Every structure is written in structure tokens, then in C-alpha cells.
Chains A and B, each alone.
Chain A
């Protein structure tokens, strides 16, 4: 029997475990906050509503006297969108490269994997810092750089997954009929590597959130006066003892989101490895 699990049943299997459910709840909590937040925010994120670090409203005001709650509710949307975009770019490019390397082999494999090794030699943050500091903090650049820094990591995993599938006879069966290679990759191989692909998506999303928040914190991500969780931490950390909410809220949100995606990913990984599935056959 093959250990292959169809994507739908993979999600269903994963959703049966406790950790995935907890993870989904946590992710939903943060995502809903980020998406619906701007609708319920009491003020505009850039309105001055009080004295700097004032404590008149629920969570007080920030370093410039803007409402913390409003900035918090507005600050997640862009982070989420950018993280998801970067993940899609990274996993997409990485999967394509990994599958070409695994399926075609030969010089293509060497070229892709060795270039990947060079990229892997640099820490992701350093790589991102390099490009962003050269070209300046632009949103598209942020997405591209974060995404591409994921690509070699994803490519490695997907290459291994592809190698396992390429050995199987149904790929040879498609080759012997003369099916085009691109069709073989999309029609025969891709549907059989969805397990690791889902896991990679979740994992890279977690890293994207952390990385983009970190870059914003360092001042190289989103620029003031944009409301953004990473930026909020940076702007308000000097008054941490006086007005902790402006830092605590975004920190908690990012932490909860990261833990949530991690739990979901872990559940997916276990489901695709067949752990916790018991012996059903």
C-alpha cells in the first residue's frame, strides 16, 4: 500500500488531532483581528487622540499620541498579506525548482542545488537586509526577498519528495507514451507531493511572519506612519515600563499567530507521515 494521502484527506486527518484544532483556533483569532480590526477600530490609525504614552483610552496612546488599539487593529492586515504573498512566492519558486532538479537531474539538478547552497549559506535576515538596504524599503522588494530566501529551503524538500515519486512506475508509464515533461511534472508528480508541500506552506508562512515583522522592527520593512505590528514594537519599546500595551499587543498577536501556524503545520506533517493515523488497513 502506498502511504500517499490525498490533500483533502490530509487536511481531514490533520484536523482530527488536538494540536491542529488549537492551532486553527489561534490562527483564526489573529487573522480575524487583522481582517475585521480596521472595521471596528475607534479611531483612524494616524489620528492624534491624546498625549504621547497617555493612558486615557483602553490601551492608551503611543509615542506620538495615536490610539494604540486602533493602530493594533489596523496593523495586522498588511503583515498578513505580505507574509502570505512572500510564502506563495517562496514555496512556488522553490517547488518548481525542486521538482525540476529532482525530475530532470543532471546539470539542472547540480546548478539549482549549488546556487541554493550559496543562498543557504547566508542567514535569511542578513540576506533580506542586504537587498533592502541597497534598494530601499519597498513592499514588492520585501515580498520578493523574503520569498526568494525561502526558495532554496523549499527546493531541497521538494527535490527529495520528487525523487521518491519519479522512481515509481506511473511516471515511466507516462514517459513511455511520450507525455510532455511539463505535463508529467504537473499531472503525475505534483499531485503526489502535496503532503510535504502543505507542510512547507505552513512552515514558510511562520517564518515569513517572523521575518517581515523583524524587518519592520529594524526599520527596513514597512515605513512610518503605517500602522504595523513590527513597527509598533520598535516605536514604543522605549516606554515599555510606562505604557506596555503598545508593545505587548503586537508581540502577543505575532506570537499567537506563529504558534498557531506552527501547530497546524505540525498536525499536517504528522498526518502526512501517517503518525497518529493508527493502522486503519
Chain B
């Protein structure tokens, strides 16, 4: 950005000092951002939730969400300033947007032909673009409604809509969230091809470092509304200069299993409570006094006084040999239905005591149903769930308090699983009160400290906690019941990567220290290696492959597992500490 020849560019997108403030607080949600994107170039805008990346993406289209407003700076496309009346003509023509969820962005009541027609262009043009995004251009297809398309097809229709007007700038807001990895791979290929064909400047907003590594040419890392590091994708990923970028990369699970994942302690400040100096200072291990008083400027693509001073050692991952143990939990011939629809078919699974089995599958594979059936939350199932040699009734309500106590369940979304009207203390005590009869002294403090939470949080309400803290409370709640088996249902999928890494560390630590038996449900194959000793791969309600993690990931036998391994984006950080 600061190299001389780049500041001269007139083609492409040029952003200078862009600031978007919240209303009425006036706190900058996006704080003096400078960006350049050349035609045909894809810029990856990376950041965790609340970093202001979506607000910035929308501001590039001169769109401000309710409660935000432009507070300074400019966006110019090919030398034309995107301000005032000009932008209305340019939207859909010079600038386009691809939203996160195509299912809600397409109007369910309109046929594909009508939707595409609304974006301008005649019939021939519509068919041309459809061919370009690898969709059929037949009349049959054009007559369809959005719900008749798959998720990947919907997203490609959204891409086609965006490219109809041959835009100069396209903003993609996490367009592959919610798609399975194989579909994601195809969508990413389409995006790359379309941007090259139309030599269109693209801004790709995401929290997924691996996607960025595969797709983008340049990267801008956002933290608390500021771009903290920017540069060519390879350079930034290989040798990150800003401590936040480095820590973020270390938090990404490594599919190849060569390094351990490490979370970032603490959480990002909201725009209102942003500290006076560098926003990352409170979490930064390299912090010096100057960082707390003074906001560092973006120099050579880094906003840090300590840029490149010292890198972090990558922690080499050591493969621990799997010891054999008796089964703490066994599932025998389990089948489950939703109404008349069978979602699980003849599942047999054994979870060795004190070890972790990962249940890997994509959405719709039945992995959550299996976890719920084990926990007694999905009574409509046949077959047997055996806990320590004892067969459990299908419905949780028919199980004895002791049986219920021994299996505890942690839900996917901590924003949903904690009653917002109860304090942390009440939340943690609730299952213990029902299941333990007599509540021992200091139970709450003990459970909180096991979940690495400060006991001071006991009097808070969930709304006053960050996402990671909430999930820790949910884990503390499960621990308070003193379980033998902990069922974790996608416990990190609602959280940021840096928080995910910390939660995974916590769960793995609990297994090692307390000998907890774990069933870890996930869709992320890269996480499996970090957390589990055994893996069972679910596809369409059946287990297609199982075995020790190291063996399955090293040489997957089933085509589905092979496809998962091949399609999952990855990036090589093994050398970034040089």
C-alpha cells in the first residue's frame, strides 16, 4: 500500500482513510482504512467476528447498515469517487455484492430467470453468465425457484447475478460459510475464474485463513476496525509481521498435523471500549509501554511498533501413541428417524475410556442426531446405547439420575444454550442440583476454574460474556455434574478460530487431566487430528470409515474421506517462523 508505484494507481479500487462510525456512540467501527485493489486481483479481508470486516465490505459499496454512518475518507473506483448520487448508478453495474447466505439473498418467490433478469442484461447475456459459473443455461433451469437448487448452485446463481453487469469491484462476504468443503472448493474455483475473466477487483471477506491462502492474491488482516497487516498473501502467511496475524495463524487447525494449535487469550475489544493505543495491546505477548499509549501507523503494511521483532515458535506436534482401553460408551446397531425419514442407519461405535472419538461429518450426515440420541435428547431411535456395560433407555427422561449424570452434553451454540435470564452461578448449579442431590461446597468455583474461568464471573449474566466465555460456562456446567462421558456437539463452530483453539486446548486438557471420555462431533477434518485419538466418518447416516486418527488421515480408504481430505483448503505454516 505504501510502496510508491501503488499509490499512483488510478485503475481498480482505491480506499483512503475510510472511517465508519457507529450511531449514536460515534465510536469508529472501521477506523481509517487504506486499501488498494487492482483489477483482477482478489484481496482477502480477514478478521474475527466484530473486527468490522463486513462493515468495511459494505462501505466499499457506499452502503452503511442501520446504526452506522460514514465518518470520513473516500472510496474511488477507476478514479471515480463513490459518493452521493453516483453510487446508485454504479451499484449492480460497477460494484456488486455477494452475500453470506444465498438462501436468504435470493427471493424464494421468483424464478431464476426473473431474478437474473432484474440485474440487467438480456437473455443471451444471462445464459452466457450461467455457462461461465458452470450452471446449465437451459430453459428448465431458468424456470426453477431458488429452493429447487442446492446450496452450491444457489451461491453460483448469486455469483452470476453479481457478474451480469460486468462490475469493476465485487465484494464477497463469506460466500462459502455453510457450504460443505467439496461445494466450497467449486465455488472458490468459480470466483477465481470469474474475477480473472472480467478482470474485476474482488474483496473476499472471511475468517477462514485456509480459504484465504488458497484463493487470494493479497491479504488485509483486520483487528478491532483497523487493518493491522496487509501484503501479498504468500508473504503474510509465510512470515506474518504483526503479532496478531502470527497468533491467528497458529490458532488455525493444521490438517497435516505438524503443529499444535494455540489460542489467543482474551477477546477483541468492542469499538466503544477500544483501548487508547494499539487495540491488540492487552492480548499481545510482545507489548511495550508505547503500544498502550499510541496508535501505531500502518508502515510497510504493518500497524505495529514491534513489527517483526520476534516471531512465535511453532509448537511441533508430537504424535502420542494410542493405548488400548476398555469401552466407556458403546453404541450398538443404532438407527434413528425424524418422522418417517431415517437419518441414522445401523450405527455401531465404541468410545474407549479416557480417550476422544471424533464424529466427523458434514451437515445432514446425522452426526448431531447420533450425539443427541446418545445423550437421550432424541428418543426416536432403535438399537442400544451402552454406558459402562449398562444399556440406557432411549429417552433421557426414563434414564436414572445417575445415568443422566454420567453423560453430559455441550451444545453447539453458546448463545442459545445458556438461559439469558440466569447468572453463571445459577446456570452451573442447575444440573448439579437435579443430578447430585446434595451440592458440595465450592462446586461453582471449582467447575469454573476447571473451565479456565475466573470465579468472579459467577454473578454475571450470559449477555455480559464473550462467545468463548459463554462456551466455557457451558463446559463448566457439564463438568459440575461430574460426568464420565462428555458429548461435545460442534462446540467450536459458532466461535472464532482464536477462541476455537483455546476451547479445543481446554477440552483436550480435561481429557488428559481428568480422564474424561470424549465424543467430539465436528465437521472440520482439520480439528480431528488435534483433539481426537479415534475418528468415525459419517455420510448420509452411516459410518463409512473409522479407526485411529493418524491412520485414517494418513491413508483414507473410503472415497468420501479422501474427498474431504483433498477438498479441505490448507496452508503451510510449517516454515513461518523461519
Residues of A within 8 Å of B417, CB to CB, are: 168-170, 172-173
Minimum CB–CB distance for B379 against chain A, Å: 11
**What number of residue pairs across chains A and B have CB atoms under 8 A from each other?**
79
B397→A178 contact, CB < 8 A:
yes
A178→B434 contact, CB < 8 A:
yes
Stretch at the interface among A1-9, A70-78, A140-148, A252-260: A1-9
Cα distance, A2 to B66, chains bound together (Å): 18
Cα distance, A192 to B416, chains bound together (Å): 12
A173→B477 contact, CB < 8 A:
yes
B399→A178 contact, CB < 8 A:
yes
Check A177/B434 contact, CB under 8 A, given A4-B421, A169-B411, A278-B24. yes
Cα distance, A49 to B438, chains bound together (Å): 71
A136 in the interface (beta carbon within 8 A):
no
Question: How does the 8 Å CB contact mask read for B415-426 relative to A, with 1 for contact and 0 for none?
Answer: 111111110000
A191 in the interface (beta carbon within 8 A):
yes
Cα distance, A175 to B404, chains bound together (Å): 10
Minimum CB–CB distance for A250 against chain B, Å: 42
A279 in the interface (beta carbon within 8 A):
yes
Residues of B within 8 Å of A168, CB to CB, are: 416-417
B66→A279 contact, CB < 8 A:
yes
Residues of A within 8 Å of B68, CB to CB, are: 279
B416→A191 contact, CB < 8 A:
no
Cα distance, A172 to B487, chains bound together (Å): 14
B421→A175 contact, CB < 8 A:
no
Residue of B24, B401, B422 touching A178 (CB-CB under 8 A): B401
By the criterion of a CB under 8 Å from any partner CB, how many residues of chain A are at the interface?
23
Question: How does the 8 Å CB contact mask read for A141-185 relative to B, with 1 for contact and 0 for none?
Answer: 000000000000000000000000000111011111111000000
- List B474-497 residues whose CB lies under 8 Å from chain A: 474, 477, 481
Residues of B within 8 Å of A1, CB to CB, are: 415
Residues of B within 8 Å of A266, CB to CB, are: none
Measured as residues with beta carbon below 8 angstroms from the partner, the interface class of chain B is 35 or more
Residues of A within 8 Å of B277, CB to CB, are: none
Residues of B within 8 Å of A279, CB to CB, are: 22-23, 65-68
Residue of A176, A188, A192 touching B376 (CB-CB under 8 A): A176
B396 in the interface (beta carbon within 8 A):
yes
Cα distance, A109 to B258, chains bound together (Å): 56
Question: How does the 8 Å CB contact mask read for B49-69 relative to A, with 1 for contact and 0 for none?
Answer: 000000000000000011110
Residues of B within 8 Å of A176, CB to CB, are: 375-377, 396, 404, 409
Cα distance, A46 to B65, chains bound together (Å): 64
A192→B420 contact, CB < 8 A:
yes
B377→A2 contact, CB < 8 A:
no
Check A178/B416 contact, CB under 8 A, given A172-B411, A173-B411. no
B431 in the interface (beta carbon within 8 A):
yes
Check A172/B421 contact, CB under 8 A, given A1-B415, A177-B431, A179-B430. no
Residues of B within 8 Å of A172, CB to CB, are: 377, 411, 417
Point out residues on A near B: beta carbons under 8 Å. Answer: 1-2, 4, 6, 168-170, 172-179, 187-188, 191-192, 278-281
Top 6 A-B pairs, shortest CB-CB distance: A279-B67, A191-B421, A169-B417, A177-B431, A169-B416, A169-B411
Point out residues on B near A: beta carbons under 8 Å. Answer: 22-25, 65-68, 270, 375-377, 396-397, 399, 401, 404, 409, 411-413, 415-422, 430-431, 434-435, 461, 463, 474, 477, 481
Known A6-B461, A173-B411, A278-B24; further 20 A-B contacts with Cβ < 8 A = A2-B463, A168-B416, A169-B411, A169-B416, A169-B417, A170-B419, A172-B411, A173-B477, A174-B430, A175-B377, A176-B377, A176-B404, A178-B401, A179-B434, A187-B419, A187-B430, A191-B422, A192-B420, A279-B65, A279-B66
